[in-house]
Amino acid sequence: MSSHTTNTTAPLHQVDENAYFNSNPPPKALPQHIAAAESFINQHAAANRRVVLITSGGTTVPLEKQTVRFIDNFSAGTRGATSAEYFLEAGYAVIFLHRQFSLLPYSRHYSHSTDCFLDFLYEGADGSVVANPAHQEKMMRVLRKYTDAKRRNTLLMLPFVTITDYLHELRAVAQLMRPLGPNGLLYLAAAVSDFFVPPERMAEHKIQSTDATDKLRQGPTTMRQEKREQQQQQQPSEGGGGNQKQNGSGKDGAQPEEETFDNFDSSPAVPRSKRLIVDLDPVPKFLKNLVDGWAPEGMIVSFKLETDPGLLVHKARYSLDRYQHHLVVGNLLSTRKWEVVFVGAGRDDRWIRVPINRRKKTISGAEELVGAAERDRSTGGGGSNRPLDPATLPEGEPEMEIESLIIPAVEEWHSKHVESATTRNGGASASR
């Protein structure tokens, strides 16, 4: 059968899936990650424990195959890492699929730039390293939880870097979660790039900022030959000198190629910078594939981030209608640590907010922003709260972590999901 015939008979989203995954190579670590995830899932499926796959952090978009430059986004992984701790507390086993070097559950308390772990330690009289007494209680609590998760093997951390790594990992782990049936939960909090450079258009080597190296690519002989030719042309005719900069022989007698590659020369013979135009393709949307094919029985929670309060709920609802999964958690960039909105099929939107008395007071007027998206929606999206003024954005963090409210609410939805699956299956138990 020709590939053309295959393509026309396969469902459209399947065609996209094959095309993407066949042309974008998986990360090297994928086989090890699959083996680790499989054994982790088997252990917890045997114990009838719920397992949540949390995705966390941003994805990079490499501009070169041997990557020097890449496009990235703001996500630090706070939502994912914090959520992981509350899921563990709620009795879930957690697969933490995170951007390499983003925040991790437990260690996040000591890895912020403002909370450097060294500031929590001092040198004792006997030369030992001692935890600062003021922080010991919290450190002990965090350490115990972390040690417990390790002892019980309830936390599996899998790193990714690029958008392609992320998609390969997501697909593989989601498919492995099938035996969990409705006990599986996918909590997709990563900030995933919408655009990428496809491999056929990606430069192999570091993109150069001038055309100067083009000649090198043609080989050293050409380079030397050209230099000789240049020098011949530049032989000063009797009485003539010519413009040294213009004719490329270099200032102060420097050899042309030395100057050409000198990044510190403020007036090079060859113009140093050229414009870089990056042509990005849209990343295929795989949420439908996830819902219908990769993890059809699990509960799927996606996140939607916006900056415009007038768009948030509409876009969350659109995503839910389009992909037919279970829950979209909407949040605004500026208030995401203070409030989120749950948008679910057949349910009213539900705002979850850090209570006023647990919001850290700031001088920035953060409280004014909390609720903006809700008010905006009630006024048809054109309310007076738009646009947000970045100067009024909150500084610091609320005293209470909003994930302490989000996770119990998600857990409640998950319980309903498990219950209705159990009813559909004629009462076979699917709980912890």
Residues that bind ligand PAZ (CB under 6 A): 75-79, 189, 191-192, 303-305, 331, 336
| Cα–Cα distance, 301 to 278 (Å, whole number) | 32
Contact 18, 293 (CB under 8 A): no
CB of 305 to ligand PAZ, least distance (A): 4
CA nearest neighbour of 316 among 333, 329, 307, 326: 329
Nearer to ligand PAZ, 45 or 54 (CB): 54
Can you give the three-state secondary structure of 226-241, one letter per residue?
A: HHHHHHHHHCCCCCCC
User: What SS3 class is residue 52?
Assistant: strand
Contact 97, 55 (CB under 8 A): yes
Q: 228 exposed, middle or buried (CB, 10 Å; 0-12, 13-18, 19+)?
A: exposed
Nearer to ligand PAZ, 257 or 339 (CB): 339
Nearer to ligand PAZ, 59 or 260 (CB): 59
CB of 336 to ligand PAZ, least distance (A): 5
Nearer to ligand PAZ, 189 or 341 (CB): 189
| Cα–Cα distance, 396 to 361 (Å, whole number) | 9
Q: Which residues pair with 95 in a beta bridge?
A: 53, 156
CB of 276 to ligand PAZ, least distance (A): 26
> Residue 306: what are its φ and ψ, rounded to 5°?
-135, 170
CB of 69 to ligand PAZ, least distance (A): 22
Nearer to ligand PAZ, 249 or 319 (CB): 319
Start-end of H helices in 235-300: 256-260, 287-289
Cα→Cα distances 407→75, 110, 185, 410, Å: 19, 22, 12, 5
CB of 279 to ligand PAZ, least distance (A): 22
Tell me the CB-side half-sphere exposure of residue 206, using CA atoms within 13 A.
5
Nearer to ligand PAZ, 63 or 305 (CB): 305
CB of 391 to ligand PAZ, least distance (A): 20
Nearer to ligand PAZ, 60 or 331 (CB): 331
